[in-house]
Amino acid sequence: MDGSLITFGHWLQNREFALAIAGSDWAYPFVQAIHFTGLSLWVGTNLAVDFNLLGFGKKSSEPLQLSKLLLIWNWIGFGIAVTGGLLLFSVSAETYLTNIAFLTKLGLLIPLGLVCHIVIQRNAPAWEKLSEVPMLAKVAGFADLLLWLSVATAAVLIPYVG
């Protein structure tokens, strides 16, 4: 790990707000609950679209229509998750920056963004015009599901690996 990142982590975790969260009996669990609430909204809306692409569930709406309906909730969830995540990160930034599970989690979020927002969002209008969901859409939905499972697995492993 680059020394300047470790220095940044050390600096961040010694900011007043990070020390306040770390030193409080209630603040850390509260911030964690905020992060998990945001994740539930963000991941849940993505999974709803992925399952729709794969043909699971009630077909009351097409993938593009569902994606449009959930878009605002997706971005609200993203904002809440990122805010909570940054606050949690700030408490032990130096440790997180050397944790392979945390780095894996972050490394997987970039492909998730690419799969979800580039492939699915850009192609959904064309897919909706077809009589059936094309194989590319199903592959994108399945890849997104696998990536989310991988992110969740990495997140769960953070406390157990160094």
Sign of torsion over alpha carbons 128, 129, 132, 137: negative
**pTM metric for this prediction:** 0.83
118 pLDDT tier (thresholds 50, 70, 90): confident
Residue 74 has pLDDT above 80, yes or no: yes
What are the pLDDT digits (tens) for 124-152?
Answer: 777 777 778 788 888 888 888 998 899 99
Candidates 95, 105, 108; CA nearest to 1 is 95
Residue 21 has pLDDT above 80, yes or no: yes
Q: Where are the domains of the chain?
A: 3-161
Residue 64 has pLDDT above 70, yes or no: no
Share of the chain above pLDDT 90, in %: 52
Task: State the pLDDT at residue 132.
Answer: 81
Task: State the pLDDT at residue 34.
Answer: 97
Long-range Cβ contacts of 55-59 (<8 Å, 24+ apart): 55/133, 55/138
Is residue 36 within 8 Å of residue 114, measured between CB atoms? no
Of the two residues 112 and 35, the one the predictor is more confident about is 35
59 pLDDT tier (thresholds 50, 70, 90): low
